[in-house]
Amino acid sequence: MALQFIVTGDGSHSLLNTDLNETYHSVHGAVRESLHVFIKNGLEYCFQKGQPQEINILEIGFGTGLNALLTLRQSQDSKVKIRYVSIEAFPVSLEIVTQLSYPIDLPFPNSIGLFQSLHQARWNEAVTILPDFILEKRKTTLQELEFEKHQFDLVYFDAFAPNKQPEMWHPTMLAKTAKALKDGGIFVTYCAKGQLKRDLKSVGLVVESLAGPPGKREMVRATKRSTFV
């Protein structure tokens, strides 16, 4: 897998997978996209729905670790315990990770050390990064992984785009993800294709089209119906 650094529209880094000709984040702003899609319309929305003491998150695509870093920062501010499971079949090397700008773009106490801890955490076991943030990275594919039913409160679906990685967006993969959500659980993604919306509805999710981050008209948030098994 060949990777190339790029600078996105908000000044933050992303990576270009030259084999797929696909970037890990929006060229209009990596940090802005992640904040808008996954934090504002995912994690913060969960906070607004109630006063949870703990949130279990599943991320599809650990990638650069940006979403995990933003979530860790938010957990410090909220005092909510986060259990964060992320799957990644092709981890980015530590050599590349150490050159990414995110800890500088997002200054908070020990941001550089915590970003390194996220990437250095052992694979396939739960690692306590902070007392209120437990990370479990799984080096595998969504196709290979099996989840317990009703396990997660929130899913960050951050795979490469459907035209680049169609197998990740197949209805069987969306059904597997939906079963892993608790009743009332939330699914968020940057993608807003009509086929995705139809497929999410077919697996028991109530779909909302929301305003997208800079450079995208829409994004999708979906909620699992309590009557869906």
Whether 172 and 193 have beta carbons less than 8 Å apart is answered as no
Rounded to two decimals, the pTM is 0.96
Whether 22 and 160 have beta carbons less than 8 Å apart is answered as yes
CATH of the domain at 170: 3.40.50.150
Indicate if the pLDDT at residue 57 is higher than 90.
Answer: yes
Whether 45 and 34 have beta carbons less than 8 Å apart is answered as no
Instruction: Assess if residue 8 is contained within a domain.
Output: no
Whether 220 and 227 have beta carbons less than 8 Å apart is answered as no
Instruction: Assess if residue 176 is contained within a domain.
Output: yes
Alpha carbon separation from 171 to 166, 174, 200 (Å, rounded): 10, 5, 8
Instruction: Assess if residue 197 is contained within a domain.
Output: yes
Question: What's the chain's average pLDDT?
Answer: 94
Instruction: Assess if residue 122 is contained within a domain.
Output: yes
Render the burial of 97-114: b for 16+ CB within 10 Å, e for the rest.
Answer: beebbbbebbeeeebeeb
Instruction: Assess if residue 24 is contained within a domain.
Output: no
Tens digit of pLDDT for each residue in 112-142? Answer: 999 999 999 999 999 999 999 999 999 999 9
Indicate if the pLDDT at residue 228 is higher than 80.
Answer: no
Alpha carbon separation from 136 to 67, 81, 122, 126, 164 (Å, rounded): 14, 14, 8, 4, 26
The pLDDT of residue 4: 95
Instruction: Assess if residue 184 is contained within a domain.
Output: yes
- Reported residue count of the chain is 229
Mean per-residue pLDDT, 196-215: 97
Instruction: Assess if residue 167 is contained within a domain.
Output: yes
Residue range(s) defining the domain that contains residue 136: 29-224
Take residue 161 and report the two structure tokens written for it: 């785009």
Rounded to the nearest angstrom, the gap between the alpha carbon of residue 17 and the centroid of all alpha carbons in its chain is 18
Could you give the number of structural domains in the chain?
A: 1
Instruction: Assess if residue 106 is contained within a domain.
Output: yes
In sequence order, which residues have a C-beta less than 8 Å from that of residue 130 and are 6 or more positions away?
A: 72, 75, 76, 114
The type of residue at 28 is H
Count the neighbouring beta carbons within 10 Å of the beta carbon of residue 30.
29
The pLDDT of residue 1: 73
Render the burial of 125-141: b for 16+ CB within 10 Å, e for the rest.
Answer: eeeebeebbbbbbbeee
